[in-house]
Structure 1
Amino acid sequence: MWKKLEPYKSSIILLTALVIGGAIGIYLPDFALTLKPIGQIFLNLLFMIIVPLVSVSVMSSIASMTDLKKLGKMLGIILVVSIMMAIIPAVSIVGLASIFDPAQGVTLELAKDFTAEAGKIDFASMLTTNDFVGLLSKSNILALIVMSIIAGIAIGQSGESGKKIADLLNSLNEVIMKVVSIIMVGAPVGLGAYFASTMASQDPELLVTFARAIGLFFAATAIYFVVGSTFYSWIGGGTNAVRAFWKNAFEPSATALGTCSSLGTLPVNIRAAKNMGIKDDIVDICLPLLANLNKGGVAMIAALKIVFIYAVLGLEFTPEVFFITIVISVLSAIIVGGVPGGAFLGEIFIVTSLGLPIECIPILVVIGAITDAPATMLNVVNDLNATQIVERFMKRGEKLETQSQTNLQQA
């Protein structure tokens, strides 16, 4: 029994701490408010490590990817497919949330007045800064990611000199991950304390909104799992590909639900993909990359978190906010979700990118922890679908190339 629960250990501990914190906030509000400094210290520690964590992780990952220059075409297809398979679930969940509002009029009360400049988002300032020092602020995470990608590409294209820097970044990344693991020891206490202080001044009805949001995600997951996977498989090879997918998809799906890890499910996914008849060379290259890049479940829950928090804060969800929601969801799926050990990075990414109050972080963590398993399942099955699509486009490219060579020979 306990072995079966082992993959969920950290989530169970964290959720238990948050439940206890929420109960203290509701029933012992005066005491809960005294706990806020404990939670603030924990969040500040995370904020202090966020810049080196994101920059080093992204740079080292991109620098390593450039070793696949000979497979540039395949990598390009993988990136395009991953982006599209992040946009579709993100847009879908925003649409559902706009119809079935999970907040239902419940508003989060903040200790300080907060006003978001809805409709006045400065995209230039979000994606860039006018000074290098600006990249060292957690408030400029999007700009930091943009520059880290550019730097990673430059490192990968710099030959031997770049290789030395890439090796140094990999070593530095290991050290930063160790720092994160040390900080995360205090996660249950820190987040539990902060959630207690947040709930101390809230209407208990706010807890009901969690159930609505999570229920909405589970319903969307079930629909997307069936309809989305079937549609993607059809794109990847028609009705035969659909039959092959559903014949082999349940074992990886069950493994993903049990492990809550895309990487942990990778061996099972590779076997399933080969049983589906996908070429071995494509499977062996695509699936390891897709396990880090293609996270439709992450994109879906990131979009839902933003819609939910805007609803409970009583903020207007403008077209500009919708656009940046999709951008954040895609980046969460392709970059943030692939940062190893980057616990709570998604929540911090959302809050800092949109300039939301940090009181939102524990609330987003609750949603993220409960939806982790089904989100992972979507990530895994989407990897199989994406591999089918990549194989189809690679075959088409080979046919066009062969036909072109034949025409040249005939000429």
Structure 2
Amino acid sequence: MSLQENVTEEDLMLNILIDEGIELDAPAKSHCSQKRKAADLECEDNLKEKRSLERDSESANRYRRKRRSKKHLHVRDLGGKAMIPRPNYFVGIQVSNPEIHHVVKRIQEAILRKEPALCTAVVPVPTLHITLAVAHLPDIEYIGRAAEVVDKCGSIHREFFNKSASLHFSGLKTFSNEQVLFAGIQESEVLEEVQMMANDLEISFQELTGLPTKKGFKPHLTILKLSKDFKLRRKGMSKISSTLYSDMSDTVFGCQIVRGIQLLSMNKPKDGNGYYYCSHQLAFDVPHSEADDHSECCRKPLSVKPNLEKVSQLQCIMKHEKDVIKRKFHSLSLASLSSVFGKANEPSCKTDDSDSLLKTLLVVSFATVAIIAAVQGMSSSK
């Protein structure tokens, strides 16, 4: 509502009298002054609100522009000169062996039983792969040229991989300041050939896009990575504690036959099996001797059951605390109870013994309530 619409006929008459120089009595002058002050304050408030809305709108637009730019660009620059476009495609080797899937799933479940908050950092089992190279492909033309690069580099190494070459996975390790947990790959002639193929792909993609790719090839099979959920850092989880996997650090996962290399999209929806959208692939001529049954590893969600041993221990502790409370209550006589809950003006009813008993009861009661809540929470997650 505008300022003019708030002005009444009485205000207009008073303003006219003042403009004409007609003397007004004290009450009329006071009333007019109050009306004008109120109108000025309202006008000032409206201006402040308008400016605040403009600032909020400008801030929101600035934030949206910043987010939009970060969506496509890395925060890292090249010597303060140019930004590196965020990769949206990568070349990888699919890890499809159900045996490896089973072991990875078992490790993920064991870690989540110890730290359930890491459920958002778990890498889905159907997406397991080895990354050879990454690139930013802005349009269909670049995707087509990248497919040609995959065919060219794969053809150079095809003869070697046609012999049914396998990669062997074993051991749990971390990198990126303990923010990524992965399965290691045993040193072998096959791994050396994969490394050479990754180097060829990296050089070819750099020539294709004119931009530097990631530095060096680090063969690994990612199992858990904190970057999947940035909210974990707010919860104080900046690293993956070694206590979560130290008892499984020597795990043997199995072997994976290198069946081909694939050009995969990071952003497009996953396929029907939960794997990355494949824009192009080069298959090697290897016999299909791998099991196809993924019903127990890929088609079932992670089963995070509570540690039954810990539940049993908590139940025993709870039973013990209940017995302690019963004994304390039975040991109190009517006289001691009346002294505990007696009036404040009767100091004779307050004894050190009764006060200590009351404190003990309160501590034991709170401890029992906490234990019951913990047991119920773990039981409900079965």
TM tier relative to shorter chain: under 0.3
Greater Rg by CA: 2
Higher relative contact order (CA 8 A, sep 6+): 1
